[in-house]
Amino acid sequence: MDQLITGYLEKIQDLLSRIDEKLDSAKSVIPFGSKVAVDKNEIFDIVDEIRDVTVVIQKSFPSEINNARRIVSEKEMHVDEARKTAEMIIKAAETAKSEMLDDHEITTEARLRAKEIVDAARAEERQKKEEAHQYFDEIFTDVEVALSKVLEAHAANSRELEHSLTELLSEVYDGHNRLRIQQ
């Protein structure tokens, strides 16, 4: 069977070579041009012979030709299916990439917002500490002033008490001395 196919292919090659020879030996219609004059009947006869060989091949090997057509059709179907699968994979990858970028942007925004919140909380903490220190400084100053006034009042009272006691003691001595004198 392979020899038969080889024979038919050689016949077709011979016929195509004859066409080449006819074209090579043909006279130019226009000097230095690519157009040539050939006997069209001779070319048609060769083309008809090529057709006859292809018809014989088709009749001799119908199952092989049908198998070849089926194989080509299946190949085209598999190529189309692979192309569709590749397109779906590419689309899924682009979607995943987009989602990852969105997730990255959301994460970045969340980190920035969290940093802003932490920074604001730290600033508020510093402010509250400063306000507390100022409040306690004011309280301590008020207590110090109050204690100073108490001490001053106590000192004034102590001086008055000492003065009163000194006077009282002096009166007691005076009264005691008068009593002695009278005795």
Domain assignment of residue 78, yes or no:
no
Domain assignment of residue 149, yes or no:
no
Full-model pTM: 0.35
Share the mean pLDDT of the chain. Answer: 83
Is pLDDT above 70 for 1?
A: no
Is pLDDT above 80 for 183?
A: no
Domain assignment of residue 45, yes or no:
yes
68-103 pLDDT, tens per residue? 778 888 898 988 889 899 889 888 888 888 888 777
Domain assignment of residue 42, yes or no:
yes
How many domains does the chain contain in total? 1
As separate numbers, helices (DSSP H) first and strands (DSSP E) second, the chain gives 3, 2
Rounded to the nearest 10°, the torsion over CA 84, 85, 86, 91 is 90
Amino acid 102 reads D
Domain assignment of residue 55, yes or no:
yes
Q: Which token pair is 73?
A: 């059709």
Range of the domain at 43: 2-60
Q: List all residues 6 or more positions away from 65 whose beta carbon is below 8 Å from its beta carbon.
A: 57, 58
- Higher-pLDDT residue of 63 and 39 is 39
